Amino acid sequence: MAAFHKTASSFRQGARTLPGEYYTSGSVFADEQDAIFARQWNCVGRAARIPDAGDYIVRTVAGESLIVVRGQDGELRGLFNVCRHRGTRLCAEGAGRFSGTIQCPYHAWTYTTEGRLIGAPHMQDVEGFDKDDYPLHAAAVAEAHGFLFVTVDRDATPFEAWFAPMLTRLARFGLASLESGHRATYDVRANWKLVFQNYSECQHCPVIHPALASVVPYQSGANDLVEGPFLGGYMEIAPPHDSVTTSGRRCARLVSPAMEHEEGRRAYYYSLMPNLLLSIHPDYVNYYLLTPLAPDRTLVESEWLFSPSNHGDPYFTPGEAIAFWDAVNHQDWAIIERSQQGIASRRYAPGPYSPRESLPAAWDREYLRLMRGTN
């Protein structure tokens, strides 16, 4: 079990919010794509989306369109969505299944699902042309606890080393076995960093989320990750509630036997740089994937996960968790959109963080470290 610490333990006096240009500047936004998203491991969803040979999803990472596909050999691969002939996008759909090969819609160059070029019409007439010289460009792929991660950085930190702080923390929750119960997509008119910072503190909960604050009081719980790219910990579920749902009761069976006893009264919340927010409740898990679209616009994709043991259970009511968090999400998007509008003012200036905001302050420090390219 990780050692948990009260939030204030990581607080640094004098911490202030970021200057306004970090939320509004096009040049800062472009720099983030290169300094952070192009160099880190980005979550692209669940491996269950591509269970069989030929299944694929298309995701955008650091402005790059990537095909994440399960090859005919069963292995996961990341392939740049760029034909090696004249650069045409190979896939226009967000997900699907290749029948066995990937063919460019322009001049019919054809690749295996492993990325090897096997068909190039008329290139046999080009002296010295060798199909082996033109595989699809590759991006590294890793899977952990049912989640898929990709990086476009050829020199990225090995995934096992990068993800090490989370591997043992998440192992007891059995996340890989969970099944999707619902997906939602939100178009948030605010900078992606505001989504992270809002998620990392609950001082706003009594004002913005009174229903949430009554279930998980914002001063409850503790954090076990207080510095670095992964931050968070748990909050305590207040009696008489058993879970964070519209009824206060559990809507499903426990996601894992580990959630019995003490952990059965906790909800865990972790932010994982650069684009994953992970919430683990006794009876369900929901997560959020962030894709920055512009300095003032972020696509947020969310999914609710449940244990397969709920199949056929008449007491399985997943809508209670889905409805609760959909309402909370819309409350969050509304307030951070107002934050975005205020930060855009020429009179905005960085304000002080309180001890209850130690995690967003720590998140800012990690963000600035990555932007500087320091270790």
Q: What is the pLDDT of residues 271-322, one digit of tens each?
A: 999 999 999 999 999 999 999 999 999 999 999 999 999 999 999 999 999 9
3-state helix, strand, coil in the chain (%, to 5): 30, 30, 40
Indicate whether 103 and 205 sit together in one domain.
no
Indicate whether 48 and 61 sit together in one domain.
yes
- Quote the CA–CA distance of 152 and 80 in Å, as a whole number: 9
User: Is residue 261 very low, low, confident or very high in pLDDT (cuts 50, 70, 90)?
Assistant: confident
Indicate whether 243 and 367 sit together in one domain.
yes
Stretch 254-282: mean pLDDT, rounded? Answer: 91
- Quote the CA–CA distance of 186 and 302 in Å, as a whole number: 8
Task: Tell me which DSSP letter residue 137 carries.
Answer: P
State the CATH number of the domain containing residue 298.
3.90.380.10
User: Is residue 8 very low, low, confident or very high in pLDDT (cuts 50, 70, 90)?
Assistant: very low
Domain assignment present for 166 = no
User: Is residue 258 very low, low, confident or very high in pLDDT (cuts 50, 70, 90)?
Assistant: confident
Indicate whether 101 and 195 sit together in one domain.
no
pLDDT beyond 70 at 10: no
Residue 166 has which token pair? 């989370």
Indicate whether 109 and 189 sit together in one domain.
no
Domain assignment present for 169 = no
pLDDT at position 262 is 72
Q: Which domain holds residue 63?
A: 42-151
- Quote the CA–CA distance of 84 and 118 in Å, as a whole number: 12
When divided into structural domains, the chain yields a total of 2
Residue 89 has which token pair? 């996008």
Q: pTM of the predicted model, to two decimals?
A: 0.94
Indicate whether 184 and 316 sit together in one domain.
yes
Question: For 208, left (φ over 0), alpha (ψ -120 to 50), or beta?
Answer: alpha
pLDDT beyond 80 at 9: no
Measured distance between the N- and C-terminal CA atoms of the chain, rounded to whole angstroms = 27
Domain assignment present for 162 = no
- Quote the CA–CA distance of 49 and 36 in Å, as a whole number: 26
Please provide the average confidence, as pLDDT, over all residues in the chain: 94
Residue 141 has which token pair? 């792929």
Indicate whether 219 and 341 sit together in one domain.
yes
Domain assignment present for 29 = yes
Domain assignment present for 335 = yes
- Quote the CA–CA distance of 277 and 316 in Å, as a whole number: 25
Q: What is the pLDDT of residues 26-49, one digit of tens each?
A: 999 999 999 999 999 999 999 999
Domain assignment present for 1 = no
